Chains A and B, each alone.
Chain A
Amino acid sequence: MSAFPGVEASPSAPDGGNHADHGPVHARPRPRITVLGVIGELLVLAGVLLGLYVVWELFYTDVQGDRAQREIVEELAWAEPEVIEGDVATSSVDTIPDDLKVTDEDPPEMAYPEFTETFATMMVPRWGDDYVRPISEGSTRADVLDPLGIGHYEGSALPGELGNFAISGHRTTYGKPFNRVDELHEGDALIVQTEGIWAVYEVTGWEIVDPTAIEVIAPTPNRPGAGATGRFMTLTTCHPLYSAAERWIVYSELKYWAPTGHGVPSELTEVPA
């Protein structure tokens, strides 16, 4: 009779009486460290890291890339403000008069841009009237394509010039400037603005090539020995999606160029059906 309240009053009694109440809760065996268990946990960790990498690559780089490329465009003092705000179609901005459009002469020479310098913007009505992306010098991933968006192959022609204005951009990840490249139709307008000129190109075709097919960015696409026979622009991007096994190439030819400061190309206001 006297032992019973004693157990209640002092659960830590040395006689071990407390096991009667709390024993089963604490009776779990201490986890033993086994090689297999540690390997298993490391594999789970590796799986989590791989999963996080995929989330980073497919989601986070787009968030960062969109924001960074947007800021770059907004900081360009000469970029058309109506284009940046994405309301060209609704605002009453002037369009370039026909007598200012040039098709057979080089535009006024611009200083060749420094490596990583952003010297142009690109607009593609097919990809929406709010599509405007910066074009920067160089085509390496670490310096240009990942942080800055569209890159210009060094040494290729500048916008409007005789030769091939060749550019490259990600189709997935890092803001994916050329994500919807497969939606372009023949005749679609590709519009480039520099500080001095607007250059309007028209899509003439597309092709899927091997990553080593550098002849597509020759001064005359696919005719490396021919020299510059026209005013071309060539887009290169990844194919298939989420892979770099091949390249998707879009060919285009200059429709006209015109000096800036006299309105925007009418093509900007015509979002294709």
Chain B
Amino acid sequence: MISTWMWSRIPGPVALKVLLLLVVIVAAVLVLFEFVFPWVSTIVPVSDPTLEEAGS
């Protein structure tokens, strides 16, 4: 499985593995929150409060 494969690729003892994994997860969430999701939200118009011209 992907997760097992990744776990065995992380170096160090279990405590270090957990620490490294947490760092990677936090970094991934930051990138998602600051860059990826703002971009996604421009494509998914779920909360547009303005009025549009008819037909546009």
Contact = CB atoms under 8 A, between A and B. Distances in A.
A and B co-occur in one complex: yes
Interface stretch (A4-12, A122-130, A137-145, A190-198): A137-145
Per DSSP, chain A at the interface is: mixed
Contacts of A91: none
Contacts of A145: 49-50
A187 B5 CA distance: 65
B2 to A, nearest CB: 5
Contact of A31 (B1, B40, B51, B52): B1
Given A56-B32, A244-B45, A217 B1 contact: no
B49 A243 contact: no
A238 interface: yes
Nearest to A214: B51
A37 B4 CA distance: 11
A168 B32 CA distance: 27
A214 B54 contact: yes
A217 B51 CA distance: 9
Contacts of B51: 168, 211-214, 216-217, 236, 247
23 contacts: A41-B2, A52-B37, A57-B47, A139-B50, A140-B50, A141-B42, A141-B50, A145-B50, A153-B50, A168-B49, A171-B49, A173-B47, A174-B47, A213-B51, A214-B51, A214-B52, A214-B53, A214-B54, A236-B49, A237-B49, A242-B46, A242-B47, A244-B46
Given A169-B49, A244-B47, 12 more contacts: A49-B32, A52-B33, A139-B50, A145-B50, A153-B50, A178-B49, A212-B51, A213-B51, A242-B46, A242-B47, A244-B46, A247-B49
